[in-house]
Structure 1
Amino acid sequence: MNGSTAKSPLVAIITERDSSNICRPVYMAEKQYEQWKFIKQNHNGNYYLTNLIRALYDLAACPGGRTHAAIQQKIFGPFIMHYSLAQADRIELIALKVDQSLVSVEGQSPGLYKSEWIREEGNWITQDGLKGKMDLSHQWKGAHTAAIPGKFDGKRDAGRIIGDHITKAYRAAFSASEVQSQGNHFSLFWMNNDFKDRAHVESIVSFIQQAKLKNTSVRWLVHGEAAGVFVEAVTYLSTQPQAGVLKDTASNLVKQSVFFSNPRGKDCREKQLEALCEKVGLNYVGTKINDFDILFNGDARDKFTDKAISAGGVMGLSGVTGYVGYTALSTGYDAIMAGSSIATTMVMGTSAYVLAKDKATTFGGYARNLPKVVSSALGKGNQQWH
């Protein structure tokens, strides 16, 4: 093979038959093939194996025709992949190694963890060891419990606070005292506040499929920004049933339930979440809206607007913009979603404006609780169960 870096026979691990997005097949040395074949067949539900397969598919999506004589390198998490683009019609995988220096600091690597109730601490404690799969055999009241938290300072804070969300969200199934016993745990998928990584979407897909394969009941608690990622994963399942064993689009996930707590993200209004769950057969338990999260949650923003308009009518004002600066608020919201640096100024300015203008009892609650509005937008207010 002219230009090939291989010194032994090559075998294809990713080809055009695997996906319509493949531009160049991925080859590897024959002696590596059996290991990668195992990974390819068994990655569902395993965070690390899913990332390895995703890396191969990313390589295979590299447009054909472009060649490089030098050995190429791809880094993802603690993994370093070396490969060759010496030939225009293929990619040759040379080696894969693990570099522990690339692991996130302070044990915050994204992945699957176990949050366990520790009697001496009187709290849920997230262990440092990453898990390959959920321990579906560990169940409370007939189902395994799994949580996907949004933004927190770290996975320990997330586990401690999300444990409270779980007991409140599923209070109809169990009480806090029933599950707060030594050794009880829930699975926690920690994204380390990176909610745009496609690998997280694929990992959630794998976890859902893992439970489906085992025919196991799972109670999901999806919080904050993680709701948007979860929506992407479930949408993928509904539009790409060939991604796994999920062949039906109705009633195929009936043994899995989900509750959304303080959701944020695209398509995360309460009615949208409920409709999506119904579409794929997920048992929709409910949604808890943080009414103070008016910048990042559409339902909370609607409630805020309704109250503001009502208050404006009581005062006999010509429009809501003259009363609470709603135009400024709406513009500021759009700016925040676009990453504008004026976000803090806008929120603080709007808050002061509302405080100065508010005189109506129907809107007074929002004025009195503006610190919570600001905290939800810029601080840690959205972490709590309000």
Structure 2
Amino acid sequence: MNGSTAKSPLVAIITERDSSNICRPVYMAEKQYEQWKFIKQNHNGNYYLTNLMRALYDLAACPGGRTHAAIQQKIFGPFIMHYSLAQADRIELIALKVDQSLVSAEGQTPGLYQSEWVDEENNWVTQGTSKKAMALSHKWKGAHMAAIPGKFDDKGEAGRVIGEHITKSYRAAFSASEVQTQGNHFSLFWMNNDFKDRAHVESIVSFIQQAKLKNTSVRWLVHGEGAGVFVEAVKYLSTQPQAGVLKDTASNLAEQAVYFSNPRGKDCREKQLEALCEKVGLNYVGTKINDFDILFNGDARDKFTDKAISAGGVMGLSGVTGYVGYTALSNGYDAIMAGSSIATTMVMGTSAYVLAKDKATTFGGYARNLPKVVSSALGKGNQQWH
């Protein structure tokens, strides 16, 4: 094959016979074909290999035959893939390697972990070693439990707090006493507070696909900023055609249920979350809104605005501005605490609502609970179940 980067005969591993979405085939060196067979035979249950396989199908489905002279690289946990886009009519998979230093990654490395109930601690304890797949056979009341937390100091704190969210969000399925037993665990996908890494989206897609491939029930608890990443993963499933062995994993996901707790991120309003789940067949259980998270959650912000408008009407003032002393700020994320003439300052977008001390009680819960509003925006308030 003229211009090929390979030094040995090539064999096609992905072609139009696999899917009508394939725009150009994927080749690899014949002597490495056993690696491809291994991936196809073992990806079920290993989300790194599933990511790798899906990435190849995505590349093959890319329209336009884009080319790039340099050797490309993608990393999926301990697996490293090198490939070439030098030829417009094909993709060449050059090498697959295993980085042994990543096989037993510990510390705060993003990845899949298990949070286990330990009687001596009377709490959930997150294990130090990451896992290559969820232990789907480990179930609580008929379904495996999996959590995707938002922002926490570390995965240990995430596991402890998220355990409470799980028992409260799924109280109709089980009680805390039923699941808080020695050795019981839930899967925890820890992103180490990096919620913009596309690799995390791909990982969540793989988790969902792995459960579908094994026809296993899963209950998801998706928290905080993790909701925005989960939404991107579900959008991927709903818009990106799946090929080969993954073609039936993007819809009819009724065996998987999801509950959103204190969600943050794009398209994370309650109605949007419910509609997205319905689109791919996920069993939508519910959403818990942190009413004090007025900066980062649209539903909480709307509720606060409605309260402000209502309060202004009751006081007989000229709209919200007349009541709260509305003022534009150059940076809406600055929380300003002033002297005795001002009781509170609430920040919203690029504006601040300043509540006069003698009228603050009209806002009821918002004025009395200002510390929770500030904590949700600038501290750890959004971590808790309110």
* TM-score class normalised by the smaller sequence: 0.7 to 0.9
Deviation by residue 1:246-275 (Cα, 9 ceiling, x = unmatched): 989999333322211001122222222223
The answer (yes or no) to whether the contact 2:327–2:352 under 8 Å persists in 1 is no
Distance of aligned partners of 1:105 and 1:282 in 2 relative to their CA distance in 1, 3 Å threshold: closer
Secondary structure, aligned partner of 1:73: strand
SS in 2 for 1:81: strand
Q: Is the 8 A contact 2:48 2:76 kept in 1?
A: no
Secondary structure of the residue that 1:222 maps to in structure 2?
strand
Mean Cα deviation higher: 328-337 or 169-178? 328-337
Taking a change above 3 Å as real, the CA distance of residues 2 and 39 of structure 1, as seen in their structure-2 partners, is same
1:203-352 alignment runs, 5 A limit: 203-239=203-239, 242=242, 252-324=252-324, 328=328, 332=332, 347=347
Separation in 1, partners of 2:62, 2:246: 29
Query: Aligned partners of 1:85, 1:30: CA distance in 2, in Å?
Result: 18
Do the aligned residues in 2 keep the contact of 1:238 with 1:249 (CA within 8 Å)? Answer: no
The 2-side partners of 1:188 and 1:288 are apart by: 19
Q: Does the 8 A contact of 1:209 with 1:244 survive in 2? A: no
8 Å Cα contact 1:118/1:181 also seen in 2: yes
Deviates more, 1:80-89 or 1:54-63: 54-63
CA distance in 2, matches of 1:274, 1:18: 33
Residue range with higher mean Cα deviation, 152-161 or 327-336: 327-336
Stretches of structure 1 lacking an aligned partner (at least 5 in a row) = none
Q: Percent identity?
A: 92
Specify whether residues 102 and 44 from structure 1 end up closer, same or farther in structure 2 by C-alpha distance, changes over 3 A only: closer
Q: Report the TM-score when normalising by structure 1.
A: 0.82
Mean Cα deviation higher: 338-347 or 50-59: 338-347
> Are the aligned partners of 1:84 and 1:91 in contact in 2 as well (CA < 8 Å)?
yes
Give the deviation of 1:6 after TM superposition: 2.4
Using the alignment, how far apart are the partners of 1:215 and 1:37 within structure 2?
23
Distance 1:153 1:341 in 2: 36
1:158 partner SS: helix
Q: Map Cα deviations across residues 190-209 of structure 1 (whole Å, 9 max, x no partner).
A: 22223333333333233223
1:294 alignment partner, SS class? coil
- Asked if structure 2 preserves the Cα contact closer than 8 Å seen for 1:115 and 1:186, the reply is yes
Alpha-carbon displacement from aligned partner over 1:162-220 (angstroms, at most 9, x marks no partner):
00100111122222122111110011122222333333333323322333333332221
Q: Which has the higher helix share?
A: 1
Structure 1 stretch displaced more, 373-382 or 266-275: 266-275
Q: Deviation of residue 235 (structure 1)?
A: 3.6
In structure 2, how many angstroms separate the alpha carbons of the residues matched to 1:56 and 1:356? 59
Aligned length, in residue pairs: 386
Distance 2:344 2:32 in 1: 52
Q: Normalising by the residue count of structure 2, what TM-score does the alignment of the two structures yield?
A: 0.82
Residue 78 (structure 1) shift: 5.0
Q: Alpha carbons of 1:277 and 1:326: their partners in 2 closer, same or farther (altered >3 Å)?
A: farther
Once the two structures are superposed, residues 310-359 of structure 1 have per-residue CA deviations (whole angstroms, 9 ceiling, x without a partner) of: 22223222121233356748983899999999999994999985344561
Q: 176-185 vs 23-32, which deviates more?
A: 23-32
Superposed CA deviations along residues 275-294 of structure 1, whole A, max 9, x for unmatched, are 33334433322211100111
Describe the SS at the equivalent of 2:74: strand
Deviations 1:208-242 (A, max 9, x none): 23333333322211111222222233344444575
Greater Cα offset, 282-291 or 321-330: 321-330
More displaced, 107-116 or 331-340?
331-340
Output the CA distance in 2 between the equivalents of 1:126 and 1:205: 23
> In the aligned structure 1, how far is the partner of 2:21 from the partner of 2:358?
56
3-state SS of paired residue (2:349): helix
- CA deviation digits over 1:60-116, x for unaligned, max 9? 578878877765555565554334455454343322334466799862232221111
CA contact (8 A) 2:205 2:233 kept: yes
3-state SS of the aligned residue for 1:93?
Answer: strand
